[in-house]
Amino acid sequence: MRGNAGSGDRIRAWLSVGVAFTALIGAAAACSAAKESAARPGKTYAWSFQADTLGQKPAHSMAFGGSWQVSEDSTGSAAAGTAAPVPRLLTQSESDDGIAYHYLTFTRPMLGDMDASVRFRIRSGEIDPSAGLLFQMDSKGTSGYLVRVTGKTGELAFHYLLYGKRRDVKFAKIAMPDSGTWHTLSISRRRSMLRASYDGKEVMAVRDDRFSRGTVGVWTEDDTLVDFADLTATAR
Protein backbone atom coordinates (compact mmCIF):
# COMPACT_ATOMS: atom_id res chain seq x y z
CA MET A 1 0.00 0.00 0.00
CA ARG A 2 2.85 2.40 0.83
CA GLY A 3 4.39 1.66 -2.59
CA ASN A 4 1.15 2.60 -4.33
CA ALA A 5 0.85 5.76 -2.25
CA GLY A 6 4.43 6.75 -3.17
CA SER A 7 3.69 6.23 -6.85
CA GLY A 8 0.58 8.38 -6.52
CA ASP A 9 2.59 11.12 -4.82
CA ARG A 10 5.12 11.08 -7.66
CA ILE A 11 2.36 11.31 -10.29
CA ARG A 12 0.77 14.21 -8.45
CA ALA A 13 4.16 15.92 -8.22
CA TRP A 14 4.77 15.48 -11.95
CA LEU A 15 1.29 16.78 -12.70
CA SER A 16 1.96 19.83 -10.54
CA VAL A 17 5.21 20.48 -12.41
CA GLY A 18 3.39 20.13 -15.74
CA VAL A 19 0.66 22.55 -14.69
CA ALA A 20 3.23 25.06 -13.46
CA PHE A 21 5.25 24.74 -16.68
CA THR A 22 2.12 25.22 -18.81
CA ALA A 23 1.17 28.29 -16.77
CA LEU A 24 4.69 29.68 -17.23
CA ILE A 25 4.53 29.18 -21.00
CA GLY A 26 1.09 30.81 -21.10
CA ALA A 27 2.30 33.78 -19.09
CA ALA A 28 5.30 34.23 -21.39
CA ALA A 29 3.06 34.10 -24.47
CA ALA A 30 0.67 36.60 -22.92
CA CYS A 31 3.57 38.90 -22.08
CA SER A 32 4.88 38.64 -25.64
CA ALA A 33 1.43 39.38 -27.08
CA ALA A 34 1.06 42.35 -24.76
CA LYS A 35 4.39 43.76 -25.92
CA GLU A 36 3.38 43.28 -29.57
CA SER A 37 0.01 44.98 -29.10
CA ALA A 38 1.24 47.85 -26.94
CA ALA A 39 3.01 50.06 -29.46
CA ARG A 40 3.93 53.33 -27.82
CA PRO A 41 1.52 56.11 -28.87
CA GLY A 42 3.32 58.43 -31.25
CA LYS A 43 5.73 55.79 -32.52
CA THR A 44 6.02 55.95 -36.31
CA TYR A 45 6.94 53.06 -38.59
CA ALA A 46 8.26 54.02 -42.04
CA TRP A 47 9.11 51.98 -45.12
CA SER A 48 11.79 53.55 -47.33
CA PHE A 49 12.87 50.14 -48.77
CA GLN A 50 16.54 51.18 -48.57
CA ALA A 51 17.45 48.01 -46.66
CA ASP A 52 15.49 45.72 -49.00
CA THR A 53 16.88 43.80 -51.96
CA LEU A 54 16.29 45.42 -55.34
CA GLY A 55 14.12 43.32 -57.62
CA GLN A 56 12.39 41.49 -54.76
CA LYS A 57 9.40 42.21 -52.56
CA PRO A 58 10.16 43.91 -49.22
CA ALA A 59 11.10 41.97 -46.12
CA HIS A 60 8.32 40.99 -43.70
CA SER A 61 5.61 41.19 -46.36
CA MET A 62 3.07 38.91 -48.02
CA ALA A 63 2.00 39.33 -51.65
CA PHE A 64 -1.41 38.30 -52.97
CA GLY A 65 -1.28 38.35 -56.77
CA GLY A 66 0.72 40.66 -58.98
CA SER A 67 4.46 41.17 -59.31
CA TRP A 68 5.89 43.24 -56.46
CA GLN A 69 9.45 44.45 -56.23
CA VAL A 70 11.61 47.16 -54.76
CA SER A 71 13.12 49.41 -57.41
CA GLU A 72 15.06 52.66 -57.65
CA ASP A 73 13.23 55.83 -58.62
CA SER A 74 15.01 57.06 -61.71
CA THR A 75 12.99 60.29 -61.61
CA GLY A 76 14.05 61.12 -58.06
CA SER A 77 17.77 60.33 -58.07
CA ALA A 78 20.04 61.94 -55.50
CA ALA A 79 21.95 64.99 -56.66
CA ALA A 80 25.25 64.27 -58.39
CA GLY A 81 28.24 64.32 -56.07
CA THR A 82 26.19 63.71 -52.90
CA ALA A 83 26.23 60.68 -50.65
CA ALA A 84 22.43 60.56 -50.39
CA PRO A 85 20.94 57.22 -51.47
CA VAL A 86 18.77 56.99 -54.57
CA PRO A 87 15.09 56.97 -53.51
CA ARG A 88 13.38 53.60 -53.73
CA LEU A 89 9.85 52.54 -54.63
CA LEU A 90 7.60 49.56 -54.21
CA THR A 91 6.35 48.70 -57.69
CA GLN A 92 3.51 46.49 -58.88
CA SER A 93 4.29 45.60 -62.50
CA GLU A 94 1.88 42.79 -63.44
CA SER A 95 -0.88 43.80 -65.85
CA ASP A 96 -2.14 40.55 -67.34
CA ASP A 97 -2.34 37.66 -64.85
CA GLY A 98 -6.13 37.40 -64.92
CA ILE A 99 -6.44 38.36 -61.24
CA ALA A 100 -8.72 41.28 -60.37
CA TYR A 101 -6.89 42.34 -57.21
CA HIS A 102 -3.18 42.60 -56.45
CA TYR A 103 -2.10 43.53 -52.96
CA LEU A 104 0.77 43.30 -50.53
CA THR A 105 0.61 43.49 -46.73
CA PHE A 106 3.32 43.77 -44.12
CA THR A 107 3.42 41.31 -41.25
CA ARG A 108 4.19 43.97 -38.63
CA PRO A 109 3.49 46.10 -36.71
CA MET A 110 0.00 45.26 -35.48
CA LEU A 111 -1.62 48.59 -34.56
CA GLY A 112 -4.96 49.67 -33.12
CA ASP A 113 -5.70 53.40 -33.23
CA MET A 114 -3.39 54.76 -35.87
CA ASP A 115 -2.61 57.18 -38.69
CA ALA A 116 -1.23 55.84 -41.97
CA SER A 117 -0.41 57.26 -45.38
CA VAL A 118 1.24 56.34 -48.65
CA ARG A 119 2.18 58.18 -51.82
CA PHE A 120 1.33 56.52 -55.13
CA ARG A 121 1.87 57.11 -58.83
CA ILE A 122 -0.30 55.29 -61.38
CA ARG A 123 1.89 54.53 -64.38
CA SER A 124 -0.81 52.96 -66.54
CA GLY A 125 -4.14 51.15 -66.45
CA GLU A 126 -7.12 50.94 -68.77
CA ILE A 127 -9.75 48.83 -66.99
CA ASP A 128 -9.84 50.72 -63.68
CA PRO A 129 -6.65 52.67 -62.80
CA SER A 130 -6.68 52.06 -59.07
CA ALA A 131 -4.35 52.33 -56.07
CA GLY A 132 -5.17 51.71 -52.44
CA LEU A 133 -4.01 51.68 -48.83
CA LEU A 134 -4.80 48.69 -46.62
CA PHE A 135 -4.94 48.92 -42.83
CA GLN A 136 -5.94 46.83 -39.81
CA MET A 137 -5.15 43.73 -41.86
CA ASP A 138 -5.04 40.46 -39.94
CA SER A 139 -1.96 38.26 -39.61
CA LYS A 140 -3.05 36.11 -42.57
CA GLY A 141 -3.49 39.13 -44.84
CA THR A 142 -7.07 38.25 -45.71
CA SER A 143 -9.27 40.55 -43.60
CA GLY A 144 -9.13 44.27 -42.86
CA TYR A 145 -9.92 47.67 -44.36
CA LEU A 146 -9.11 49.21 -47.73
CA VAL A 147 -9.37 52.78 -48.99
CA ARG A 148 -8.60 53.22 -52.67
CA VAL A 149 -8.69 55.69 -55.53
CA THR A 150 -10.57 54.51 -58.61
CA GLY A 151 -9.74 56.30 -61.83
CA LYS A 152 -12.63 54.65 -63.65
CA THR A 153 -15.26 56.70 -61.82
CA GLY A 154 -13.17 59.38 -60.10
CA GLU A 155 -14.02 58.22 -56.58
CA LEU A 156 -12.45 57.43 -53.27
CA ALA A 157 -13.82 54.05 -52.21
CA PHE A 158 -13.93 52.58 -48.73
CA HIS A 159 -14.13 48.78 -48.44
CA TYR A 160 -13.48 46.00 -46.01
CA LEU A 161 -11.97 42.62 -46.84
CA LEU A 162 -13.30 39.48 -45.24
CA TYR A 163 -11.33 36.31 -45.93
CA GLY A 164 -10.00 37.85 -49.14
CA LYS A 165 -13.41 38.98 -50.43
CA ARG A 166 -13.95 42.72 -50.89
CA ARG A 167 -17.11 44.41 -49.64
CA ASP A 168 -18.22 47.99 -50.40
CA VAL A 169 -18.88 50.48 -47.60
CA LYS A 170 -18.83 54.03 -48.96
CA PHE A 171 -17.86 56.11 -52.03
CA ALA A 172 -17.07 59.82 -52.47
CA LYS A 173 -16.26 61.86 -55.57
CA ILE A 174 -12.69 63.14 -56.02
CA ALA A 175 -10.63 64.66 -58.82
CA MET A 176 -9.41 62.07 -61.31
CA PRO A 177 -5.85 60.92 -60.49
CA ASP A 178 -3.38 62.05 -63.14
CA SER A 179 -1.30 59.29 -64.68
CA GLY A 180 2.36 59.64 -63.79
CA THR A 181 1.63 62.15 -60.99
CA TRP A 182 2.20 61.50 -57.31
CA HIS A 183 -0.86 61.52 -55.03
CA THR A 184 -1.31 60.72 -51.33
CA LEU A 185 -3.81 58.48 -49.54
CA SER A 186 -4.17 58.80 -45.76
CA ILE A 187 -6.32 57.22 -43.07
CA SER A 188 -6.95 57.94 -39.41
CA ARG A 189 -8.37 55.42 -36.93
CA ARG A 190 -9.72 56.45 -33.52
CA ARG A 191 -11.77 53.66 -31.96
CA SER A 192 -14.65 53.07 -34.38
CA MET A 193 -14.22 56.34 -36.32
CA LEU A 194 -12.27 55.96 -39.58
CA ARG A 195 -11.36 59.00 -41.69
CA ALA A 196 -9.91 58.90 -45.21
CA SER A 197 -8.06 61.73 -46.96
CA TYR A 198 -6.83 62.28 -50.50
CA ASP A 199 -4.00 64.70 -51.27
CA GLY A 200 -4.28 66.22 -47.82
CA LYS A 201 -8.05 66.78 -47.83
CA GLU A 202 -10.44 64.69 -45.75
CA VAL A 203 -12.93 63.07 -48.10
CA MET A 204 -15.01 60.76 -45.92
CA ALA A 205 -15.65 59.50 -42.40
CA VAL A 206 -16.92 56.00 -41.66
CA ARG A 207 -17.98 54.51 -38.35
CA ASP A 208 -17.04 50.83 -38.34
CA ASP A 209 -15.65 48.42 -35.75
CA ARG A 210 -15.32 45.16 -37.64
CA PHE A 211 -11.55 45.13 -37.08
CA SER A 212 -9.70 46.68 -34.15
CA ARG A 213 -6.01 46.13 -34.94
CA GLY A 214 -3.74 44.97 -37.72
CA THR A 215 -1.03 45.81 -40.21
CA VAL A 216 -0.84 48.02 -43.30
CA GLY A 217 -0.36 47.32 -47.00
CA VAL A 218 -0.97 48.55 -50.55
CA TRP A 219 -3.36 47.57 -53.34
CA THR A 220 -3.84 47.70 -57.13
CA GLU A 221 -6.51 46.38 -59.48
CA ASP A 222 -6.81 44.74 -62.91
CA ASP A 223 -4.12 45.98 -65.31
CA THR A 224 -3.00 48.95 -63.18
CA LEU A 225 0.75 49.48 -62.82
CA VAL A 226 1.58 51.55 -59.73
CA ASP A 227 4.58 52.88 -57.80
CA PHE A 228 4.26 53.34 -54.02
CA ALA A 229 6.55 55.36 -51.76
CA ASP A 230 6.79 56.85 -48.26
CA LEU A 231 4.47 54.38 -46.54
CA THR A 232 4.15 55.30 -42.85
CA ALA A 233 2.03 54.17 -39.88
CA THR A 234 1.89 55.90 -36.49
CA ALA A 235 0.44 54.36 -33.34
CA ARG A 236 -2.13 56.55 -31.55
Q: What is the pLDDT along the chain (236 residues), one digit of tens a residue?
A: 444 555 556 545 554 545 444 444 454 444 444 445 568 999 999 999 999 999 999 999 999 999 999 999 988 655 555 667 899 999 999 988 888 999 999 999 999 999 999 999 999 999 999 999 999 999 999 999 999 999 999 999 999 999 999 999 999 999 989 889 999 999 999 999 999 999 999 999 999 999 999 999 999 999 999 999 999 999 99
Choose among 75, 127, 138, 131: nearest CA to 103. Answer: 131
Choose among 153, 173, 170: nearest CA to 221. Answer: 153
CA distance to 33, 136, 144, 151, 192, per residue, from 213 (Å): 13, 5, 9, 29, 11
pTM of this structure: 0.81
- What is the CA angle 158-189-119, rounded to 5? 65
User: Do the beta carbons of residue 39 and residue 116 sit within 8 Å?
Assistant: no
